[in-house]
Amino acid sequence: MGYESMDLILAAREARWSLRKELSRSYGKPVLSLSMTVPGPNKSAPGIFWAIKVISDEVEKTMGSALSRRIDLDGADGPSVHWVVDLSGKELKKRALAIEESHGLGRIVDLDVLDENGAPLGRSELGFPPRRCLICDRPAKECSYCRRHGLSELLEEIEGILEKSGWRE
């Protein structure tokens, strides 16, 4: 990936973070953000959009009337969906983790929560272990940091998860 591509991805991530903070500040409520955990420069493959749609439908079914505002983005860092939610931050994170842990696509999506004060709520705040690597089951951050697995191996695993969940090109 060239520096220009990485710069665009980092700028898009920063814009997404700013939007989340602004939504939390403006509404004084928790914000739920859905994005994909896809490595490499192609953050907008058709299967990614399909998975975002499937998980956003699951979020809307699970959260129901607690969702009060939705914003969809599509930047260099891929598609994302953001909701302002009428639940406590901890209850929202608990429900988001239930989706990540139980849904077939849960291993390749991120459902991030900012609480009513705009502070991120992580898995550890609710007693959940760190997210596991798709390939070897070590902590994902550890494998990502030391680049333990090649891009093609990771993308192949992601493709398998998409296919098992119903994606067909």
pLDDT digit string, tens, across residues 38-96: 888 788 788 999 999 999 999 999 999 999 999 999 988 899 999 999 999 999 999 99
What is the 3-state secondary structure of the chain? CCHHHHHHHHHHHHHHHHHHHHHHHHHCCCEEEEEECCCCCCCCCHHHHHHHHHHHHHHHHHHHHHEEEEEEEEECCEEEEEEEECCCHHHHHHHHHHHHHHCCCHHHEEEEEECCCCCEECHHHHCCCCCECCCCCCEHHHHHHHCCCCHHHHHHHHHHHHHHCCCCC
pLDDT, position 43: 82
Domains in the chain and their CATH numbers?
3-129 (3.30.70)
Q: What is the pTM of this model?
A: 0.92
